Structure 1
């Protein structure tokens, strides 16, 4: 199987954002290696890692993931996210990572994610991550920015 260096870099950045091997107890390098982790549920400490590294509030993260904040608090006590919640958190991490690659700067990427965007109907990219279609729209917009089409 051929794997692009961009895919490996993306996976590694998502691993870092979710707390690294110390939290995940794994080092997925390609998308297929995430599947078993998602199926068993990510450690809830990955939420805290994402909050710490992005400086997005728990309330905003819960909204972006479409997971009630009370559920996130409960999952932190329980220690593990559900497979669906894990998939949403990885989707968030992969988009943050993609923005960092496009902007070549973590601060610029996080600012872009939290700022209203005309090409996304005037809403923030973060507000669209609660759905797959919204996340795809954010990725499409990042692709246009990367290729110099700032629509």
Structure 2
């Protein structure tokens, strides 16, 4: 399945509490709302900081509220999976979590001197980052 690495970034089956065997399963899980454990896993593994999560996925105050409820909303879940998908693509492209983290946090000329991670707050921004990662992975000048 194409989203295997992205699922690992949010903690996989242990964090999600369900088995994701297909893209349809993932869509259903996102629509239902992912467990807050998925966010905790992203934070615990250093894939995103609380400040980055605040800008890209959901505000800290909202996260505190969602912790009490136990799940994210569908929109929050969608933003989390979008970020996880791009982080996974960066890790695959650069071959390591550390190199990907550095690239995601550095302003990039090909993105108008924007920091790739901070473009993930919109689907269009994520698409531009994913397109650039595709170009890099295929050796096309960025």
TM-score band, normalised by shorter chain: over 0.9
Aligned residue number for residue 5 of structure 1: none
- Residue of structure 2 aligned with 1:134, choices 118, 125, 130: 125
CA contact (8 A) 1:15 1:27 kept: no
CA contact (8 A) 2:36 2:72 kept: yes
Change (3 A) 1:18 1:55: closer
Alignment TM-score, normalising by the size of structure 1: 0.88
Aligned residue number for residue 103 of structure 2: 112
Deviation at 1:116, TM superposition (A): 0.8
| 2:40 is the alignment partner of 1:22 | no
The one-character-per-residue Cα deviations of 1:89-141 (angstroms, maximum 9, x if unpaired) are 01111111111111111111111111111100101111100000000000010
Deviation at 1:55, TM superposition (A): 4.5
Alignment TM-score, normalising by the size of structure 2: 0.93
Change (3 A) 1:100 1:29: farther
* Counterpart-to-counterpart distance in 2, 1:34 and 1:118: 33
| 2:75 is the alignment partner of 1:78 | no
Counterpart mapping for 1:1-150 below 5 A: 8=1, 10-65=2-57, 67-150=58-141
SS at match of 2:113: coil
SS at match of 2:3: helix
Consecutive unaligned residues of structure 1, counting only runs of 5 or more, are 1-7
Q: Aligned pairs, how many?
A: 142
RMSD of aligned residue pairs (Cα, Å): 1.3
Detail structure 1 runs of 4+ shifted over 6 Å in the superposition. none
Change (3 A) 1:132 1:126: same
- If asked which structure has higher relative contact order (CA below 8 Å, sep 6+), I would say 2
